[in-house]
Homo-oligomer: A and B are copies of this chain.
Amino acid sequence: MLINAPQQSTLADIAAHRLAQSIVTGELAQGQKLNETELAERFGMGRGPLREALRQLEGMRLVKRIPNAGARVVVLDRKTLSDLYAVREALEGMACRIAATQMTDDEIAQLSALLDRHEEQIKKQGGKVYAQSEGDLDFHYQIARGSRNQMLMDLLGSEQYQLLRMCRHRTSRNAQRTGPALQQHRQIVAALAQRDGELAEILMRRHIQGAWHSINEMIEKEEAAA
């Protein structure tokens, strides 16, 4: 289950992918009970593969399972998100520092080109924040790849990535942080191009901290409204 897992092999893998998609897009609400029989029927498969898929999603931290009581979609409360962003700051900062010495010139150039396309997209359709989010995640994932650390790529790519997408989807309606984010991305790429790992790490950590502050304010507003 990397960025996209379109190729189909076993029913359990297909179910896991479809469920993950439904969860991150909010089609399945946070905390919602996941009925095995119903889901199996909806996906046109038996309960066996579906149960395996649930075990898989549990490992991805997208669902929480309680023995003899079923599985529920995870709920991203403020504390959970705070923890997530703190861990991301450490991991992505590390990825950035290493990537500065490990990425090839070509890869850095591609990263820069990605930001160009990204900027283009923002100009064309100002409001489409969602596209920005996906592009942003691509950006972060490419840097993780640049670290050449498989474990880091797995952690950031599969588990945290999904939770992050989930969080993004929830907050994408109101967020308008594309401008400063792009600017920060450009700074990071510049630091990478200069092979300045220390600076790249600092910039990435700031970038993530900024994102967290933005999210946190939004949550506060939500809570105040409710």
Return chain B residues, CB-CB under 8 Å to A150. Answer: 79-80, 83
Task: Tell me which residues from 1 to 28 in chain A have a Cβ below 8 Å from any Cβ of chain B.
Answer: 9-10, 12-13
In the bound complex, how far is the Cα of B61 from the Cα of A98, in angstroms? Answer: 23
Q: Mark A59-87, 1 if CB is under 8 A from B, else 0.
A: 11100000110000000000110011011
| Inter-subunit contact B151/A67 (CB<8 Å) | no
**Number of copies of this protein chain within its complex:** 2
A55: nearest chain-B partner, CB-CB: B55
Q: Does A56 belong to the interface (CB within 8 Å)?
A: yes
In the complex, which range does the number of interface residues on chain A fall in? Answer: 20 to 34
Q: Is the interface of A mostly helix, strand, loop or mixed?
A: helix
User: Would you give the 0/1 interface string for A200-221, flagging 1 where the beta carbon is closer than 8 Å to chain B?
Assistant: 0000000000000000000000
| Interface flag for A90 (CB, 8 Å) | yes
A-B CB contact pairs (8 Å), 6 listed: A51-B52, A58-B59, A79-B150, A80-B151, A83-B149, A87-B91
